[in-house]
Amino acid sequence: MEDRSESLRMIRDSAAGLAPRTGDLRRVRALRWTEPGFDRGVWRQMCEMGWPGLLVSEEHGGSGLGVQEFCALTEELGASLVPEPLIPAAFAAMLLPGDHLGPVLSGERIVLPAWQEKPRSFVPGSDCVWRDGRLDGRKMFVSMASGADAFLVSVRDGLALVERDASGVHVVSTQAQDGGNFATVTFDGAPAEFIAGDASEALEVAALATSAYLLGAMDRVFGITLEYLKTREQFGRKIGTFQALQHRSADLKIQLELTRATVAAAARTMDGTSDRRTRQAAVSRAKARACDAASIMTRGCIQLHGGIGYTDAADPGLFLRKMMVLAPMFGSAALHRARYQAVAPDLDED
């Protein structure tokens, strides 16, 4: 227990060096609606710290740590709205064979997963077909695809690694609400390498890590709002002394702490059991709560800021836009509530 606590503390400390919770958000603002939407120099720093390989075994050049450590890291990054695609890149790194990992973990190459084929899905799509070294099909909602060097694509009976600039690869990017991008990627006889594997477990980890990122964003925007309530004056008084606003703040604090407890419990479950249904239930419970709570938190913080909260110059708006992008990613709240309902009764019967 002490070893794990120390490991989590070290992870959080390493994140603070690159993305401090108290830092300003000028870098985030400057990167919005640019190509690729993040800073490759910062990405290389993240790779030097070993973050994309956190869940990769030491044998293959990673750190061999657990889901709890990865979620602690993504929570810290969420507090600073870090735009670099750590979660999808770590998703791909978990699935790549050892002989492909060197340049990925060093930051020379960015490989991102392409798994979704229809909206409101949380199952790796298998409509893409790899045959005789060629890949055909289409993937949707590939996050931060503008910065990818290659895609790791879920296909029937496995995965396929395809270069972004390969012939037959067509990427149509769309700007996201938070200033990032996602893409529909079409493969028309694109040369690709088949890789054995199944993306299902990596998808569970990515969903939980996204929940932790949302938790970090909630924590930071709530802190920003509390500071605003302590300094903004109206009718000759600090508005934080108004009882109605204190009640609203208390409600938001409850949402924050319930989310923190649920995400932490899910991360412990992921590290502590191999039972598939138990893991699925824990992830879906955390993701559903994080999505709903992040929406309540960001909207509530904007309301507590008053009219200025709705302007683009106000920081709470950045957190609202990030929530709008991340909440449906790796499964919406509605999807995960339905999955939890389907899995949890089976657990009770065991």
Q: Are residues 94 and 122 in the same domain?
A: no
Q: Are residues 135 and 58 in the same domain?
A: no
What is the per-residue pLDDT for 1?
Answer: 57
CATH number at residue 250: 1.20.140.10
Task: Determine the average pLDDT of the residues in 248-277.
Answer: 96
Domain boundary (151, 170, 195) is at: 195
Q: Are residues 211 and 326 in the same domain?
A: yes
Task: Convert 203-230 to b/e letters by CB count within 10 Å (16 or more is b).
Answer: bbbbbbbbbbbbbbbbbbbbebbbebbe
Q: Which amino acid is at 27?
A: R
Q: Are residues 246 and 278 in the same domain?
A: yes
Domain boundary (178, 195, 212) is at: 195
CATH number at residue 153: 2.40.110.10
Q: CA angle, corner 270, sides to 264 and 273, nearest 5? A: 125
Instruction: Note whether 185 and 149 are within 8 A (CB).
Output: no
What is the per-residue pLDDT for 240?
Answer: 60
What is the per-residue pLDDT for 22?
Answer: 82
Q: CA angle, corner 135, sides to 129 and 139, nearest 5? A: 75
What is the per-residue pLDDT for 347?
Answer: 62
Q: Are residues 264 and 337 in the same domain?
A: yes
- What's the structural domain count of the chain? 3
What is the per-residue pLDDT for 2?
Answer: 62
CATH number at residue 84: 1.10.540.10
Query: Alpha helix (H) ranges present in the chain?
Result: 2-18, 26-31, 40-48, 67-79, 86-95, 98-106, 200-231, 243-272, 276-305, 315-326, 333-349
Query: What percentage of residues in the chain have a pLDDT greater than 90?
Result: 82
Task: Give CA separation, 234 vs 198, 237, 238, 247, 306, in Å.
Answer: 57, 5, 6, 18, 12
pLDDT tens per residue across span 40-75: 999 999 999 999 999 999 999 999 999 999 999 999
Q: Are residues 209 and 180 in the same domain?
A: no
Instruction: Retrieve residue 117's tokens.
Output: 């084929």
pLDDT tens per residue across span 284-309: 999 999 999 999 999 999 999 887 88
What is the per-residue pLDDT for 19?
Answer: 87
Domain boundary (195, 221, 252) is at: 195
Judged by DSSP in three states, 19 sits in coil
Query: What percentage of residues in the chain have a pLDDT greater than 70?
Result: 96
* φ, ψ (nearest 5 deg) of residue 328: -85, -10
**Domain limits at 214?**
200-349
pTM score of the predicted model: 0.95
pLDDT tens per residue across span 135-176: 999 999 999 999 999 999 999 999 999 999 999 999 999 999
Q: Are residues 207 and 341 in the same domain?
A: yes
Q: Are residues 190 and 160 in the same domain?
A: yes
Q: Are residues 342 and 211 in the same domain?
A: yes
Non-local (6+) Cβ contacts of 98 within 8 A are 59, 60, 61
What is the per-residue pLDDT for 344?
Answer: 85
What is the per-residue pLDDT for 350?
Answer: 41
Q: CA angle, corner 186, sides to 180 and 190, nearest 5? A: 120
Q: Are residues 338 and 252 in the same domain?
A: yes
Q: Are residues 240 and 298 in the same domain?
A: yes
Q: Are residues 68 and 168 in the same domain?
A: no
Task: Give CA separation, 223 vs 175, 249, 293, 301, 322, in Å.
Answer: 29, 10, 15, 10, 17
Residue 185 pLDDT greater than 70, yes or no: yes
Q: Which amino acid is at 11?
A: I
